[in-house]
Amino acid sequence: MSTDITHEEILIPASDGFGLAASRFSSSQSKEGVVLINSAAGVKRRFYNDLAGFLAENNFTVYTYDYRGIGESSPGKLRGFQAKMSEWGLLDMNGMMAYIIQKHPEAKYSLIGHSIGGQILGLSKFNPNIKNAITVGAQKGNSKYWDGVWRLNMILLWYFVIPVASRLFGYFPSKIIGAGDDLPKGVALEWASWGRSKNWFFGLLLEAYLNFSGFSGKLMGVSISDDNYAPIRSVNAIMEEFKKAEITRRHIYPDDLGVNHIGHFNLFRKKFKESFWKEMSDFLKS
């Protein structure tokens, strides 16, 4: 990372006042606007540090943050901690955007959303302020979009694994199954309820109907051919809900980027700095 890059640790209030651990990356040449990075479920903001630094080197100011119950926005012991996944969009992202708009009132605002981080773009009341957005592996999680053993896996996850484990432990032990940070009980149970609903959270959250249509900026929706967490049909399904967006669909095969495997997480690793990261930077500057 360039020595010109400033990396600051800050605490930003969500819309209800809950303190969110956040980081700001910037440089003396930060003139391309502000980028907010929304993490995947159970993924700490520090996973995106390298990308945030790269974007700062390309003259953006970048904010990352931990959702409530994740990373440094977690109380430590999750048992008894009250949180819902919808609050990540309705309270946490909204609080981040309110802070960013107040701090950078004349800036152009962009967003990168990974998995659930792309979905909650549609929940935020501030999404009309966002001009360019990139979602990576953002999907509707209904099992009908998966095939074979992965469909069975999703059914088991929504109907059995999450409900039983969350009630047994008082939180969902994601680390045991290699799926990121442990999740608060309420977050996991709401997530599973979306998976059991015929139309994901659109059948359960009024805000989904009200706010998805608010985003009218440019949207690059990225899917990856070997991403078992977000098959192409599930990504296409969430893209259809951004009815006013100017959508560019990007379906990536590992061969396109000269690698054997990408999956759900690897596009955020440094080895894609000169390929996909540059493509993202160019899109956000457009």
Q: Distance between CA atoms of 67 and 91, rounded to whole angstroms?
A: 10
Domain hosting 101: range is 6-142+212-285
Residue 170, in any domain of the structure: no
Count up the domains in the chain and report the number.
1
52 pLDDT higher than 50 = yes
Q: Is residue 199, in this structure, part of any structural domain at all?
A: no
**Is 189 within the bounds of a domain?**
no
CATH at 235: 3.40.50.1820
Report yes or no: 131 and 109 within 8 Å, Cβ to Cβ: yes
- On average, the pLDDT of the chain sits at 95
Burial (0-12, 13-18, 19+ Cβ within 10 Å), 39: buried
Q: Classify residue 230: in a domain, yes or no.
A: yes
152 in a domain, yes or no?
no
- Does residue 193 lie in a domain region? no
Task: Give the confidence band of 165 by pLDDT, cuts at 50, 70, 90.
Answer: very high
Tell me if 231 is assigned to some domain: yes
Q: How far is CA 159 from CA 155, 166, 277, in A?
A: 6, 12, 37
Please state whether the predicted TM-score (pTM) of the whole model is above 0.75.
Answer: yes
Q: Which residues have CB under 8 Å from 211's CB, separation 6+?
A: 122, 123, 124, 125, 127
Lowest mean pLDDT among 1-5, 80-84, 201-205: 1-5
Task: Give the N- to C-terminal CA distance of the chain in Å, as an integer.
Answer: 24
Query: In this structure, is residue 246 part of a structural domain?
Result: yes
